[in-house]
Structure 1
Amino acid sequence: MNAQARQNSTLAIVSLIAGILGWTLMPFLGSVCAIITGHMARGEIRRNPQLGGDGMAVGGLILGWASVVLWVLAVVAFLLFFGGLAWLSTR
């Protein structure tokens, strides 16, 4: 009953931490970093079956992409709102 623990991918850990930072301290930069390192970690884990941490990489990817999507929606809403105000002021 000697179960050997699998080593987690460092990139997966970085992806998850960056994804959390993307929602807290470094809004856009952390999210982009989470997306990049998450994809790199998933590739590394697929190439090396002894590595673990796929769940952390996926978590970082989800946090990163969700934050980027919300940023894009916020910018579109901002532009539509103020563009609509500018259009109304010219009428």
Structure 2
Amino acid sequence: MKPRFAFFAVFALFSLASPLFAEVTLAGGDGSSFEKAILVQGATEATGVPAEYAYLRKHYPGYVFTRQSLLNHKDRLYDALDFTWEGKRYTVYFDITEFFGK
């Protein structure tokens, strides 16, 4: 019973429907480039980064994580998440300027 509870607790923690993400909004583009980055708003580092991964789980179920990079582009900060999904490689860009370091 306890391991099962732990699984659901962790799942709830990293689900976009979780109250943890109640103040986090993802706006902007589809994340396919800097110009179309997903803007993470209303977050801290404790909530923003998990929201990024929850986004990937929702939009790319079963993805295989490769790496996460912190990038600076035109005076804005981005997380670039590299992964494979359905046999293809992807990078999704999240604009984290608002919450980086908070």
What is the TM-score with the length of structure 1 in the denominator? 0.29
As a proportion of its length, which structure holds more strand? Answer: 2
- Bigger RCO of structures 1 and 2 (CA < 8 A, at least 6 apart): 1
Give the structure with higher Rg (CA): 1
As a proportion of its length, which structure holds more helix? Answer: 1
What is the TM-score with the length of structure 2 in the denominator? 0.27
